[in-house]
A and B are shown apart, each in its own frame.
Chain A
Amino acid sequence: MMHIYKIDGNTLQVVCCSPEDIRKGDYLLINDVVAKRGLIAQVVNTGYANVPGILGDILREPSTSRVMGKDLDPLEMRPYVNMIKDAKSFTCKIRRGVIDETLDDDISWVPSRSISRVEKLPDEKLIKMVGVGQDHSISIGTTKRGAKVSIDIASIDGKLNIITGKKETGKSHLSKLLVLGLISRGGICVVFDVNGEYVNLGYTSDGEKGPFYDKIIVLSPGENFKVTLKYAGLNVLLSVMSSVLDLPTTSAWEFRRVWQYLLKSGMLSLRELGEAIRSVKNNYVQDALLRRYESLVATGFFTDYAEDAITLEDVLKKIKKGGVLVFNLQNLPPTFRRIIVEFLLNKFSQLLRRWVIRAIFLFAEEAHLYLRETYWDDVVTRMRHLGVFTTFVTNQPDSIREGVYRQADNIFLFNFTNENDLDIVSRATRVDVETVRVIACELPPHHCLMLGKAVKDFPLIVKVNPIDAKTMGQTRLFFTNL
């Protein structure tokens, strides 16, 4: 039996004095039968009720614990006393009001303490009431009590998502689940795969070709992913050279002049570009350009042979009805990695601007390893309007700027034990600090706390579904025979 103890702001204290299986993350329905309205509150912390004198009882206990004895208790009072001693107190956050099973945003009223009925709100009922994952949804997993949780495609379409948690808690697994869910619905995804975890996503766990085999295209820069200079274009190359290779402005102007000359004379190739740079009269500029040129050539990403090169347009045609482009950045030197990402983001922006593609879902694993500082805001604002809907996946929450958390529409939070990490995540505006701090540190592996639009701002603890695909990256080990 549960009763309201007190309300302070949107924090509700509930006392429970007979054993009820209520856990952190569960929802309670507070129904004021006279006011004919209710409140939905989520349990964010649990503890013992502050029973008067309990401290005295506990302090006295050691005196009698060494005394064996028999109780002739005709009224069988012991269970009642134990019930009092075990009375629980639940700290809850009020999430929304409810009138006639319909959600109501008004939570400014206070329910009657004496007549309100407090009962557990079953997960299935909550999900139905909230209207999560009804049409065009992706199945994510189940709640702790087994209710199925799906999220509407619309809740991640056009949105900014963050998947974060400490290592080996299941972040990439969820990311892959979202990718597969999106491509099964016709979405086009792009993955920056720094650990080579997505390259085998087309295969089942048995190593057979999976249902999405044809929809997953793995591109390894310098190997099966090369482009011609002409396809890359001056603006993209200049952007790469300036942003990644720190080309000074004066040299950039000289590069532009050289490029335009070669283009006009129909001689734009890597070899000719090198020759033209070597003929630049100013030694400083020549040296600056030459070093950047050699860096680009060393990547092996650019080619003069059209038969070796591919275009993103051609690749995208293959996954017109949904698919994923996995850019395998594993084992690439950091500069090369940044060149590729700079190239791709510029190129995708162009394609989106020209409406070659409608939108892409970008999954950026450990983006701080390859995304330059100034890009964060760009990805979150300008590129989002162009149609780049990003999901950041990271185990270092401090690598993502605070502004990004504030802009995030959905956060999938896995276990964190470090309080500093939790502090950073709790800056997200879509949830209160206590919910994050208390619940996230107790999440078991493969369980995440879903926050944001995907769950209509009703934080849910979800056990993420397994995937029948090769999801593990190939880690090089020393003791392979163990």
Chain B
Amino acid sequence: MTSSMVLAIRFSALLNALPGNIAQGLIWGIMAIGVYMTFRILDFADLTVDGSLATGGCVCVMLIRAGLSPVLAVLAAFLVGMLCGGITGFLHTGLGIPGILASILTQIGLYSINLNILGQSNQPVAASKYKLLASLAYVNTTNTAVKVIFFAGLALAVFLLILLTYWFFGTEIGHAIRATGSNEQMAKAQGINTNAIKVLTLMISNAFVAMSGALIAQFQGAADVNMARGSIVIGLAAVIIGEVIFGKFCAKRKAAFAFTLGAVVIGAIIYFIVYAIVIWLKLPSEDMKLFSAIIVAIFLAIPHLKEKYGRKGAKANG
């Protein structure tokens, strides 16, 4: 074989892997929207997600294995996610524990709870046995109809979630959340119960995250207690990639917020495409987390560094 043939074969291997990564990106995009709600809108660094994403997956898989329909199992994961966020919210607003610490406490506690839900460190859920909503099998199948229905359905679901989120943050309650995140003193002066708003936002955010976890577990065919480890970094990476690439494009639009949410989902897809390339280049995939952490750190630092050293463009990130 000539070297160009080898390259062609290797490149087709990347192309074959891409649909799976795009599907993964779409599913993680739901999680990234949840992270956007707390991190960008409420201005709350919520690490609960590193627990609640797995809780969503664990609850969903165990319910499906118990015979519940996958749709209801995802719904159950959504509700359990709300509970997880509610716990962090209570620890923070009710007991006065600093936000990040409150979320870490929930996250650590959830690890044991997830282990108890599964009964062991992981539990499989096979697409051949259950009518799953998402599965890598739907991507790799030779049945084109299944493939198309899966991707179209997933894209539509994500699109509807973006619309729902866009609508919600345009309502009075949504405005109260944005005001609380922007200026808590002002929010209180305008009669907003900022503590209740924080709890509510954490609940909705973690519901999205847990729902995403439920789909991730179905997609990979198992729930694992470690499936959420480092997920906050993936969520943040998606948010930041989306903002950096599409920020200016979104800002000019009429429904800028809806475009931003779309950009965040695309950010998640890009993240998993990069991941596919890393694997394809046979780079050590264990280093992906370090790579992600560095990327997130750099982009989070940019606004600060601009303000400190930049003369022009300091306002660009407004």
The judgment on whether A and B are partners is no
Interface residues of B (CB under 8 A from A): none
Interface residues of A (CB under 8 A from B): none
